[in-house]
Structure 1
Amino acid sequence: MKIADFFRENNINVTDKKLLVAASSGPDSMALLDMLKNLQDNAHFKLMAAHFNHQLRADSEEESKLLKKYCSENHVPLFIAKWPKEDQPKVGIEAAARHARYAFLTQMAKENNADYLLTAHHGDDLLENILLKFIRSGNPEEMNSLQMIGKMHGIKLLRPLLGYSKAELLQYNQEYQIDFVIDSTNQADETMRNRLRHHVVPLLKKENPALIRNALFFSQKMDELIDYVDEKNSAMWQLESFLNVAYRIKSEALSQLTEKERIFFWQRMIWQKYHRRVNENLGNFVVMEYQNYFYLYKKQNILEVRKQEINLNQPFVFRNRKMVLSTERKTDLKLIGDFWFKPDTEFSMGELVPGSKLLLQNGHHVKAKKKFAENAIPLALRPFCLAIYAENEPVFVEKIYQNQNWIKNGKHYFLYNS
């Protein structure tokens, strides 16, 4: 398979496009850079490279020098950043390094208006990923974590080397005399990936030399099956975020599902929304039906939010949500709700006190719990509804109530997510 075949088979026209390669000086990314450089003769696109120096190995500077030399000789613009030592955590450094690298790559892609970001993941990487997922979870949705075409933080992501084996890339580098640096950390057996790479994968390849091709076929078929399930299970698109702490869906949307299918649906939603794997008991999550809605939320201890004074046009935080109360219409912020009240009022915010009553237009009061029930908000989620107080009386309760008394020369107040 030639790299040109990847673009042709996936109907990707790169003419006049900007391609940014995530490059180290390893054999994989050096081969990818050189393949794309040669492809430029027939397909006219701008090729760029971005390199993130983690400063975690003694040969990190050697990597940067080699990459600078190649890019300079081949007129490829190169963007380099270093990960400051003071930003490197003592624990969880691999995850932190990955996060910092992806943040840099995304930034470079956006700043340089790249149409595509390309990584040098190859077929052996894909096979190792599949084996790791089998060992750790067996979750079908995780099996296609390396896709040929995807997105990362809004940037189109391409992995054109998934059809190549590591051996083929090394052979390419040898044939075209491409220099590269071997990552010394890949030689030790300290990580599970390295142990699979050194001991398990070679045995599997002896059983079937076409293993890499089969891994790609398996991954593509998993993509197709998951897309099919998503299409059939259209209810998932009706799930709405609720109060930034739960998700809900109309009961009728799941009415045609069997009990087993519902369990699968919620397991799928928990994985997609919370990235947690759960068994049929759904673990630390709650699914409840209330007033013709199903609610999904995570079990947690709820601390009381006492009333606090707030000022107009100054952001405040309620249960991890940043909000602002204003008398101005703001099109750039999401409106939570609005109400009318006296001008120059001092407001406070907090959760609604249990047993509260709300003033109606006719001068009577209604129990807040009745309004919560009418608006299908279960007891467990009511503390997450923001209440705005004026003169120690609630004048606004999120999702259920706004002041109903007519006020002469009253002001219109707007509550926004900020």
Structure 2
Amino acid sequence: MPAYAPVTICAIATAPGRGGVGVIRISGRDLLPFAEAISAGKTPRPRYALYTDFVARDGSAIDNGLLLYFPGPNSFTGEDVIELQGHGGPVVMNMLLARCVELGARHAEPGEFTKRAFLNDKLDLAQAESVADLIDAASESAARGALKSLKGAFSGEIRALTDDLITLRMLVEATLDFPDEEIDFLEAADAAGKLSGLRGQLDKVLGTARQGAILREGMRVVLVGQPNVGKSSLMNALAGDEIAIVTDIAGTTRDTVREEIVIDGVPVHIIDTAGLRETTDVVERIGIERTWQAVEGADVALVLTDSREGVTAEVNAILERLPAGLPRIFVFNKIDLAEGVAGEGEENGHAVVRLSARTLEGVDILRKRLLSLIGYSASEGVFLARERHLDAIRRAALHLETAAEVWQQVELFAEELRLAQNALSEITGEFTPDDLLGVIFSRFCIGK
């Protein structure tokens, strides 16, 4: 019997609108009578497709198609699951859904099927989240990473770390009963060395998780600079389309323009902004204010300047207002007019790329430099990760860092190890507040 067995739920699992096939999913306890009622008394064989009419209370056919019956616990949710595969018209689907409610089911909440799978130990929390990530994947690389997480790659890394932490905790806890010998015992057992190895493993997992977070969330790139240095032209060049209006008139862009592109599988959110200058134009001033708001939320700033002018006093004034920790790349544009050569380098400690947004010379160099700046490298081993996963790993790393400082104070050492384990356990859901579960699953689509 599943650990979590509430009332029967139902939902349309396919996308809204017309389609060749529509699917309704039902999950609950003891659903064989439910299957027989909706299929005019036919008894389905577990995990075999039954071709049948789907009937109303009076026995008249609503639709016909395939009925699949998966008895729990060998199902996605761990409960009995029925899938009705009929014709994908919205009217037919809603009639079938109403019939399911008539038979005692209620409408499922967003993510409730996957939540039941988690609560019935069919998936851990990281795997459950990857279901939504696979659906929402913005690139092939993100989809592959989400599938790796769904299959347990990320969870396996976290569990291996947790198991090693538990082993070390057992060693430390065992010494608490022998206070006169605890330090000698820990030294003999190389507790400090084991802790160092754990910290190294955690750093590797954090690096891979960062890659996965970039794949999932994408990178926010803001274009800043004075008017008429080619920000809109560069946005069009990166996007491969005429997204922003380009003219020789300074101040053409008066508001932020956003576009999403993909560079080597990484989603990149490009934000073109109003040119930064002193102006009395009310509309342009509003656009400039929105530029600074966009800068605050960016991962990378591309600081554009005209190659013929270089870094002017006005550009330096812009640099002074950029957040101190914001990575930036100087883009010297219009090399076609300055008789320059495309390339990259460094000046005064900042990355520099020389290009022409008009001729596209050097644009590929910028694309690669963007990925390099955020530390991304394409790898088949990357699994998708979320910001909450990174936060949990960072907190675990801080606790292990503190543990390394206090390891000769055994009670404090043991407590820091416990807190590190709890932080990692939040990722897989072994130690997770209920309110966090509500937030996570409410963001799923209905029917998953």
Q: TM above 0.5, one fold?
A: no
Higher RCO (C-alpha under 8 Å, 6+ residues apart): 2
TM-score, length basis structure 2:
0.23
